[in-house]
Amino acid sequence: MFKRFRRLRMNENIRAMVSENHLEISDLIYPLFVVEGKKIKKEISSMPDVFQMSLDELLKECKELEKLGIKAIMLFGVLENSKKDSCGSDSLDDEGLIAKSVRAIKEKFPNLIVICDLCFCEYTEHGHCGIIDPKTKSVDNDATLEISAKQALIQARAGADMIAPSGMMDGIIEILRKSLDENGFENLPLMAYSTKFASSFYGPFRDVAQSTPSYGDRKSYQMDFRNGKEALLESLEDELQGADILMVKPALAYLDVVKEISQNSKLPLCVYNVSGEYALLKAGAKAGVIDYQKMVFEIMIAFKRAGAKLIITYHAKELAKMLKEGL
Ligand code: PBG
């Protein structure tokens, strides 16, 4: 006797009763890019519907996000080249772009969860994720840890609800936790970019964040995408160091890694559905070769099925609308 799986597939109500994975609006985190100036809302050519915004426009955007029911944003600063230097001073300043922006957002939208990306590539003239060691021309890990602890305090004092270090420096979670705790921020959570691969899927982001390295690549700090066991080690190490949430980035080509981490850690797991993944779908829609909405939704459910709880995604606004209207 064979099993009749089709019995539980006969109509939508019964399918809904036995469906294992669901997408909720509280799963979504929307990335936003802030620039200096006023009345600026500049679309990124490789990422339709994604904008660099000055703070006034960004505040309008937050209002819309609140209406849509989106609960969390991930904030990136995009600095003018003239303000960049060798150690990203603007990000270490209480009056810098990110600090100013976080204060203004939290003042108007106290309930919106503001997660700050903590990195240096958007603030340094060389575009690498930390301080460069002049001898090796590579990022100096421990010197970068020191200034990362400073950047975390700037973000914390500005009112960030969560800090997400994305530079892939060894020991980052331990040092950030220590410095936050010592300064009265023991309740501020850390979301580790714990397993972040050196990936060509970040291409469009580097257009929007203006953070392409001026020489070399990021392979001496981001992970080699050929490695799966190391991916698990990276995440478990961040858990040991005190991370509150783990992350896999990029998402779609790395679902094996997501699954494995979700089975080996009890921490909430986030995926970053990155710029290249978004750009591919937008290009596919424009070419008329895919059913865009259905495909976006299917991919989100795939993240959840693999074990992710949270999804950082440029599709968040579209998904919020889809969830409201029902898909
Ligand atoms: C680094 C950072 C990157 C992304 C998020 N944080 C780029 C990189 O490592 O080069 C990529 C996000 C995306 O592609 O959407 N601050």
Residue 165 Cα to ligand 1 midpoint, Å, equals 11
Task: Please give the Cα distance from 22 to 16 (Å, whole number).
Answer: 10
Contact 316, 30 (CB under 8 A): yes
Residue 272 Cα to ligand 1 midpoint, Å, equals 9
For 210, counting Cβ atoms within 10 Å of its Cβ (0-12 exposed, 13-18 middle, 19+ buried), the class is middle
List the residue whose alpha carbon is closest to atom 2 of ligand 1.
Answer: 166
Residue 249 annotated among the catalytic residues of the structure: yes
In this prediction, residue 216 carries a pLDDT of 87
Is 117 near ligand 1, meaning CB less than 6 Å away?
A: yes
- The model's pLDDT over 269-301, given as tens digits with 9 standing for 90+, comes to 999 999 999 999 999 999 999 999 999 999 999
Strand 246-249 with 41-44, pairing: unpaired
In this prediction, residue 327 carries a pLDDT of 64
Contacts 24+ apart (CB under 8 A), 182-190: 183/153, 183/156, 185/153, 185/156, 188/156, 188/160, 188/161, 188/162, 188/163, 189/161, 189/162, 189/163, 189/244, 189/245, 190/162, 190/163, 190/164, 190/165, 190/242, 190/243, 190/244, 190/245
Contacts for 291 with CB less than 8 Å, ≥ 6 apart? none
Give the domains, in start order, of the chain with CATH numbers: 22-245 (3.20.20.70)
Q: Considering 249, 309, 321, 324, which one is annotated as catalytic?
A: 249
Ligand 1 atom with least separation from CA of 274: 15
- Please measure the distance between the N-terminal and C-terminal CA atoms of the chain and give it in whole angstroms: 36
Contact 129, 221 (CB under 8 A): yes
Q: Considering 71, 84, 196, 304, which one is annotated as catalytic?
A: 196
In this prediction, residue 259 carries a pLDDT of 98
pTM of the complete model beyond 0.85 = yes
Task: Please give the Cα distance from 278 to 284 (Å, whole number).
Answer: 10
- The model's pLDDT over 182-230, given as tens digits with 9 standing for 90+, comes to 999 999 999 999 999 999 999 999 888 888 888 888 998 999 999 999 9
Residue 203 Cα to ligand 1 midpoint, Å, equals 9
Within 10 A of 248 (CB to CB), how many other CB atoms are there?
Answer: 30
Phi/psi for 50 (5° steps) reads: -110, 130
Phi/psi for 131 (5° steps) reads: -80, 140
Residues in the chain predicted with pLDDT less than 70, given as ranges, are 327
